Structure 1
């Protein structure tokens, strides 16, 4: 995703090494899941697994990790990366503001780049990297996009990325930002471009602006889960389907609330506790219980069920955040099978009875 939301404030402020990671997995590459679990991002040629890994929590000390980052958490994040690769996941999403500045101990981009390099020293792996431009008020024009992108390259230790996204719409200058995305494609710096937290109107405008240059808008990354279905209600999901834009779903397990891990007597810590309160979790328990029951019928965990529910919506790539190998391995188990239509609809119906949590405010603009 992006920034912390709900009853909390959201943290807005947060040499080229020559190492180049190929964007598209080789057709001859063998993974434990195979090519059937990969899709193209929108109309681009970038091919990724149907489920990616979000790196929002890596290095963060403002929203995740109980306000601290240490060697133990670093080791766990590296193990999450390796477990993902071992399980066939090739898509990792980060951003320049994750873990950067006052929001964290070390930038998530820096960590991801380090993990890739360390893994590449052992064996050749195919990694699709996505990162994001922060539309900060003092950034103006298309040049600011290219400048920020090159800074991201430096932190990642890469000479290109597969997907470069506008993290949120700016207060002003959005046409210039879109021009910057187009310039990045034409200069061969990125293979595909996308947006994040864009409303239907903003999405269509960005799509049209890039289309004039013959460049597809590959994706829109938005908050989307079984209990946060605003993209269905505000026209974003339908527009993505119509225009051939992949919807990348952040917070797909509702930041852990849908996994069964949290209860009214055991709410999440930190800022998440202000969103997923004991009162909210109490109302959520019947749905969580039913998710668990359905999962038992498939031999799957609640986490795997809710991730598969999103994949069943078609044209959706969920990117849950993995802080350790155990989580990454569990996420991989959401691939390679599908919920029956009756179960998809039952879960939708049950979830509709729960008032959703607050989303990222700019998605309504």
Structure 2
């Protein structure tokens, strides 16, 4: 039997199918959505059509209240998370405890456990690694005797020296130790302001002694009269410093200057004074005892007194202070020779601003006497620190020198600055050349000061003239500056420049 639909026309069947398809077509989007879709990027074209809850908007309409979490829901989630973390921690602790219980610790020496280093390794530059490798190679070659050790010989002998050797051609004086008028503080602790102002105490002097001897300056000038007015003897401070600093090969060479007065000293009194100084310093003998000559025609008495000091065993050599004429020095030296001793030293003042005794340096060398130079900075006038443009030298308080006196020395002070700059450049260049030339074979050369000051120029000027400066050193800053004079010297041209400037100042 045939189904009735089989006899329907074809067009009627197609119309029925079209109506059925239309019933299942989704509603078209609103105009706003269609407009935005045509102008948006390709990613928006693949967006899901909005559902009924969105109100037909794609632009972020508010979600329904059923999709939001309440405060109670959030609190429950946070609590659940805390429970999970706590349970995880408890599980880990139980596992650790189980592992420890299973360990057999009887065979482990708990007292000798290895130490573990947790510090971060220090990173070194390529240059540092190369320098360390070169130094190690140089040390190995020296141990094997392949190459000599290259260094600056600061303790070299000098052609114009006698039996008494002065290392580095420098020494220092303790004339300011214990002297309140020069800034010494007897009691109380030094404040930072006091230290900055140049004040010092016993501890400071002890540190100065240690600093200078460690640096190679071993000649120490002292006297039983230094600090006497303040009731604190410089020799007592020196004895304490010598006791505190005892290093093999760094023993001081003590130069004792006997006091001079208006009356002629008795030879026995000179011997007693020298012996008392040795007892105060707790040593058997000083290296040199110098007699002070202030009155003419005292040479025979001083010669006899010095010989008594030698016979008593209180000194190894003898010297004199204040002989400024060539003929007088020759007669004194001959008189000592007649007693069986030789004259070792003659101490007098000389500086860049006090050139009147320059010829005496050559006279001393002619007869083999060491020219010790007292006050080589002329009380600070030759240091180049106090100038017409800076009368106070940067210090708080009144100017140390009158402006008229400083103005007269303007040409010299200006030349000191020029020479200091030239020396800085020259020494720095020499250091670079020496380091580059010998570092790979001998290791790094000794470090030499390249930050040269006008004060160091003034001291090395005295050295260049042939004298042995004995400046007063009271503070660590002064000691550091004196040590900065080592390892370099002024050239002949630089000395001539200073001489020419001094001549312009009528010195």
Q: What TM-score range do you get, normalising by the shorter chain?
A: 0.7 to 0.9
Which structure 2 residues correspond to residues 130-149 of structure 1 after superposition, within 5 A?
130-137=255-262, 140-149=265-274
Shift of 1:173: 4.6
Q: Does 1:60 align with 2:190?
A: no
Which structure 2 residues correspond to residues 292-307 of structure 1 after superposition, within 5 A?
292-299=417-424, 300-307=452-459
**Equivalent position SS for 1:352:** helix
Shift of 1:263: 3.3
Which structure 2 residues correspond to residues 25-64 of structure 1 after superposition, within 5 A?
34-37=153-156, 43-62=162-181, 64=182
TM-score normalised over the length of structure 1: 0.78
Which structure 2 residues correspond to residues 269-280 of structure 1 after superposition, within 5 A?
276-280=401-405
**Equivalent position SS for 1:286:** helix
* Partner residue, 1:82: 210
Shift of 1:144: 1.3
Q: Which stretches in structure 1 are left out of the alignment for 5+ residues?
A: 1-31, 357-365
Q: Which stretches in structure 2 are left out of the alignment for 5+ residues?
A: 1-150, 191-199, 425-451
Q: CA RMSD in A?
A: 2.8
8 A Cα contact 1:134 1:168, kept in partner: no
8 A Cα contact 1:309 1:344, kept in partner: yes
Higher relative contact order (CA 8 A, sep 6+): 1
Q: When you count helix as a share of all residues, which structure comes out higher?
A: 2
TM-score normalised over the length of structure 2: 0.57
Residue among 292, 297, 310 paired with 1:185: 310
Residue among 330, 333, 355 paired with 1:204: 330
Q: Does 1:164 align with 2:292?
A: no
Which structure 2 residues correspond to residues 1-365 of structure 1 after superposition, within 5 A?
34-37=153-156, 43-62=162-181, 64-65=182-183, 69-70=186-187, 72=190, 73-74=200-201, 75-100=203-228, 102=229, 104-120=230-246, 125-137=250-262, 140-170=265-295, 173-200=298-325, 201-232=327-358, 235-264=359-388, 266-267=391-392, 276-299=401-424, 300-314=452-466, 316-354=467-505
8 A Cα contact 1:219 1:245, kept in partner: yes
8 A Cα contact 1:267 1:277, kept in partner: no
**Equivalent position SS for 1:92:** strand
CA distance in 2, matches of 1:339, 1:307: 10
**Equivalent position SS for 1:225:** coil
8 A Cα contact 1:56 1:321, kept in partner: yes
8 A Cα contact 2:415 2:497, kept in partner: no
Residues 170/155 of structure 1: CA separation in 2 closer, same or farther (3 Å cut): farther
CA distance in 1, matches of 2:366, 2:248: 40
Shift of 1:35: 4.7
CA distance in 2, matches of 1:174, 1:61: 34
Deviation string 1:216-254 (CA, Å, 9 cap, x unpaired) is 11111111111111212xx52232121111111111122
CA distance in 2, matches of 1:68, 1:124: 32
